[in-house]
Structure formats: structure tokens, C-alpha cells
């Protein structure tokens, strides 16, 4: 199993912990974000001919740069995708939108302890990653 698959599996296990705790819910959302982050890196480096160097090639990927790329992709004026398959464009934008939202969610769960994370909200966030994984192929 790939690292990103392990992270998604961990997120699903954590979000379904009973009883749920703030630590398990927050770690689930954070793990879900990192699952997407590493999925995108794995896909971006998957065609590199030297398999042993793929992890090193993925090392320079940056959260902020990936966020900016996602934001740009969502700009319909900058990227109208005229004449492209509408389903593929919608799926690509779904991936970009989900990445952006998950990054915001991860910042909240990792750094904002002023408000408890609701179990339903955490489950929704993790399930959105599962949907993204299913959409990706």
C-alpha cells in the first residue's frame, strides 16, 4: 500500500474511534490532508524513470505552492479549459477545491484550539478525501 493510502486509512480509523476525542478527530483531518498532499506528489513523480529517486524528486513539493496552483486552477478566467472534456475539468477542479479546503481545515485543526471540532464535521472532511481518492483515477 502506498504512503498516501496508509494516511487515508489512518484518517478513516481515527475519525471512527469510539469514543471520539479532540486529538483523534483533529489527527484524522490532518492525516486526510496529508493523504491528498502525498497522493498528488506521488502522481506528479510517478513517471520519473528512476523509481528509487521518486521520493527525492517529491521532496521539494511545497504546501504553499501547491495551494497557489490549486487556486489558479479554480480561476475560470485564467483557466477556462475551452473545448476540454467537461467531466475531466470538473473532476480536476474538484481535486483543486478539495485540496484548498483541506489545507484550510488542517490549519484549523492543528493550530486553533479555541473551538472543539465536531465529530460530524471531521467525518465530512475525511469522507471528502475518500471521494477525492475515488475521483482521482
Domain coordinates in residue numbering, the chain: 3-135
Q: Given CATH 3.40.50, say whether it is the number of domain 3-135.
A: no
> Cβ distance 17 to 24 under 8 Å?
yes
The pLDDT value given to residue 112: 95
Cell, residue 52: 528509487
Rounded CA separation 68/24 (Å): 29
The mean of the pLDDT values for the chain is 93
58-88 pLDDT tens trace: 999 999 999 999 999 999 998 899 999 999 9
Rounded CA separation 24/12 (Å): 10
87-114 pLDDT tens trace: 999 988 988 998 999 999 999 999 999 9
Amino acid at each position: 500500500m502506498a504512503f498516501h493510502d496508509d494516511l487515508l486509512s489512518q484518517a478513516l480509523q481515527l475519525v471512527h474511534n469510539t469514543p471520539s476525542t479532540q486529538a483523534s478527530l483533529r489527527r484524522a483531518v490532518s492525516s486526510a490532508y496529508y493523504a491528498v498532499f502525498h497522493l498528488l506528489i506521488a502522481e506528479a513523480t510517478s513517471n520519473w524513470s528512476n523509481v528509487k529517486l521518486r521520493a527525492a524528486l517529491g521532496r521539494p513539493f511545497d504546501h504553499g505552492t501547491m495551494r497557489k496552483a490549486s487556486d489558479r486552477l479554480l480561476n475560470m478566467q485564467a483557466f477556462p479549459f475551452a473545448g476540454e472534456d467537461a467531466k475531466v475539468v470538473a473532476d480536476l477542479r474538484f481535486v483543486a477545491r478539495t485540496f484548498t479546503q483541506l489545507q484550510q481545515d488542517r490549519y484549523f485543526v492543528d493550530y486553533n484550539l479555541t473551538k472543539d471540532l465536531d465529530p460530524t464535521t471531521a467525518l465530512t472532511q475525511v469522507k471528502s478525501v475518500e471521494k477525492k481518492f475515488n475521483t482521482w483515477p
